[in-house]
Amino acid sequence: MSEYVEITFGKYKGKSLEQIAVSDYPYFKWLKGIILSDRIRESIEELEYKLNHYVPQLSCAASGCSKTAEFMSVVATRFGVSVGPAYVGCAEHIEQIRSMHPKAIYYPIKYDSLLQIFSGKPTRADLQELLDFLLLTTGWERKRRRTKRAMKEHFDNLKLMGEQLRLF
């Protein structure tokens, strides 16, 4: 396991890349454009790849289907966004899931979907709702503390789609 990378400036000074990505993904993406260090940029790119190519640890919500969920439903209400495991689906059953929740918009289960969901600046609560859900889809236990070491270890061991190992 490689050591975590800690940011030494800005509003997340002292936080690891993993901690930043799961608490403020748009900021994490912004970091990639301003970091001058090759080592840190490579760490950002490696984590970004993992966050967008992991195998979600949820099954399709369609009755009798045990395939891995690929899509999440996001519903905008007057109280904010709503997302949850009850309305996730595989490609084969997404239309069936959609009929259960016709006002929902479906996005791939990956962190870059946040950038599509929020074309403008999201509220902190909406962003956190989606980030917490996405973290759960990686297999993170809800009550587990988000320490630098625990998060680095977790993301280093994610199962990625279509490959066993990607070297950076």
Model pLDDT, residue 162: 77
Q: Which helix (H) or strand (E) covers residue 166, if one does?
A: none
145 near 40, Cβ under 8 Å? no
Least confident of 23-27, 77-81, 106-110, 117-121: 117-121
List pLDDT tens digits, range 117-160: 876 677 888 899 999 999 999 999 989 999 999 999 999 999 99
* Residue closest to 69 by CA, chosen among 156, 125, 133, 18: 133
Model pLDDT, residue 1: 44
Model pLDDT, residue 165: 45
CA–CA distance, 74 with 133 (Å, rounded to integer):
11
Q: Where along the chain do its domains lie?
A: 10-54+142-156, 71-137
Model pLDDT, residue 121: 72
CA angle, residues 69, 21, 4, in degrees to nearest 5: 115
What's the pTM value of the predicted model, to 2 decimals?
0.87
List pLDDT tens digits, range 50-70: 999 999 999 999 989 999 999
What lies within 8 Å, CB to CB, of 131 at 6+ separation is 22, 23, 24, 25, 114
* Residue closest to 109 by CA, chosen among 155, 65, 54, 41: 54
Exposed / middle / buried, residue 68 (Cβ in 10 Å: 0-12, 13-18, 19+): middle
pLDDT of 29 above 90: yes
**In 10 A of CB 124, how many CB atoms?**
10
CA–CA distance, 157 with 153 (Å, rounded to integer):
6
pLDDT tier for residue 163 given thresholds of 50, 70 and 90: low
List pLDDT tens digits, range 83-103: 888 889 999 998 888 887 788
The residues pairing with 72 across neighbouring beta strands, listed in sequence order, are: 88, 107
